[in-house]
Amino acid sequence: MLLLLAIFACKDPIPRPDAQDSADTEVEFEAPDYLAGIDCGPDAIDSTADPATGECYLAEQLKGGIQLSINANCTDPAITALGSKRHLVMVPNETRPVLWLHLGGSGGDPSKTTTLGSAAMSSGYRYISLAYTNAPGVGEHCRCEEGPRPVDCAELTRAEILTGQDLSPYLEMESDEAIEYRLLALLTYLNALDSRGGWETFLTDEGEIDWRRIAVSGFSQGGGHAGMIARDHAVNRALYFSSGADSALLAMTEPSTYQSCTSDQECGEWACCPFDDLNCTTAPVAGGLCNDATVIPWANSGPDTNGDGLGDANASKRATPPERQFAAIHRSEPAWQTSPEVFELWGMGDRYIDLDTEQIGYSVDAQLFSLDLEPNTSACSAHQSMGTDACLSIHPATSQPALLPLWRFVMDLELD
């Protein structure tokens, strides 16, 4: 029952048993101390790895454009983490003044996202699938052997991975390994490599990233990063595959839901998870906790206005307005349990276009999409079918990726 998108795994949620026997009688409970979060020392992102070797970039001519594979350390020698993964850059012959930035999932390789890149290129976008510090996943950063770290771990860890600022006590990383720094270094490198390519368009006069000219998409871990970018910056548009934010153990956000257990039968449709294995990969031996996932608090926050890594106000204050945000979820992946609540919080509604059966026209007023088609190969999960080339579900009526109509709809949509 491993929940790939969230911090913890769970079964389908059901209404929690009341915390009271009646309206007048409260039930006392004693939740274990670790539900407040375990201090088990920060994780570290290894930035001492040997830099990638070989040509700084490899170029391939495509129909309608060019594809580049670029060593991150060539954009700045200080960037070495995950050095074997190269940035993927795809440039059409005819370009629009918007860059499409994609952030892959945990452990993912940008070279496995060319199908999305081809769609972006055909719509006139320069496309970058960024090689960033995506291993391990945020969920792995936010737990240790003793139990989960505090519930603010995911938000602060993402903020540090994005900005490189020392914001998270749960993570240690060099500032030049951050997503923003890597993107800035890549844009500067591309501008030097192709001085007439217009790459400076995506930088402000102060030499910073101009998010207004960037469309951002993300899958899984990358979807959460895209969600936080769109929270803090007014991007051109945002597209989330599977996830836009994290989830957390319900008992950590609402302690009154805590219920000890020794078997799944005691938890209804929830799972009974060992105290030392809340991912539920083993059966409880000496007792455990009835486990369910809920939306993490940062999903209902606005931009970080004071620079502490934590969002302020509420989701109605997100920098990117609802009409510029779009999402797709596979109905057989764990994200279907929590992501719809996230997207509704962000003002995107609750109406889902069914990509299995409905044709999308460019006049359709839609922001949310779902599908339930099998992945392209049996080796892939439903979750993986939302993000990597080899796993994309193929629609039987078109023999094309089932997500392709969605990509084209979002990419070609004229936004004021």
Residue 16 clears pLDDT 50, i.e. is over it: no
**Mean pLDDT for all residues in the chain:** 88
107 vs 264, higher pLDDT: 107
- Compute the average pLDDT of residues 174-197: 94
Residue 160 counted as domain residue: yes
- Compute the average pLDDT of residues 321-339: 95
Calpha distance 92→237 (Å, rounded)? 19
Nearest by Cα to 295 from 39, 103, 10: 10
343 vs 3, higher pLDDT: 343
pLDDT at 24: 40
Domain count for the chain, please give it: 1
Residue 23 clears pLDDT 70, i.e. is over it: no
The CATH number of the domain where 320 resides is what?
A: 3.40.50
The percent of residues above 90 in pLDDT, for the chain, comes to 69
- Compute the average pLDDT of residues 128-149: 90
pLDDT at 15: 34
Which residue(s) pair with 249 in the sheet?
A: 293
pLDDT at 278: 65
pLDDT at 35: 74
Residue 71 counted as domain residue: yes
pLDDT at 30: 63
Helix (H), strand (E), coil (C) string for the chain: CCCCCCCCCCCCCCCCCCCECCCCCECCCCCCHHHHCCCCCCEECCCCCCCCCCCCEEEEEECCEEEEEECHHHHCCCCCCCCCCCEEEEEECCCCCCEEEEECCCCCCHHHCHHHHHHHHHCCCEEEECCCCCCCCHHHHCEECCEECCCCHHHHHHHHHHHCCCCCCCEECCHHHCHHHHHHHHHHHHHHHCCCCCHHHHECCCCCECHHHEEEEEECHHHHHHHHHHHHCCCCEEEEECCCCCEEEHHHHCHHHCCEECCHHHHCCCEEEECCCCCCCCCCCCCEEEECEEECHHHHCCCCCCCCCCCCCCHHHCCCCHHHEEEEEECCCCHHHHHHHHHHHCCCCCCEEECCCCCCCCCCCCCEEEECCCCCCCCCCCCHHHCCHHHCCECCCCCCECCHHHHHHHHHCCCC
Residue 21 counted as domain residue: no
Residue type, 214: I
pLDDT at 283: 78
Residue 205 counted as domain residue: yes
Indicate the range of 24-33, 55-64, 225-234, 311-320 predicted with least confidence.
24-33
- Compute the average pLDDT of residues 102-128: 97
Residue 294 counted as domain residue: no
Domain region containing 217: 43-246+304-412
Indicate the range of 142-151, 161-170, 274-283, 284-293 predicted with least confidence.
274-283
Reported as a single tens digit per residue, the pLDDT across 40-53 is 889 999 887 777 88
Grade residue 251 by pLDDT with cuts at 50, 70 and 90: confident
Residue 22 counted as domain residue: no
Residue 25 counted as domain residue: no
Grade residue 280 by pLDDT with cuts at 50, 70 and 90: confident
Residue 92 clears pLDDT 70, i.e. is over it: yes
- Compute the average pLDDT of residues 400-413: 96
Residue 74 counted as domain residue: yes
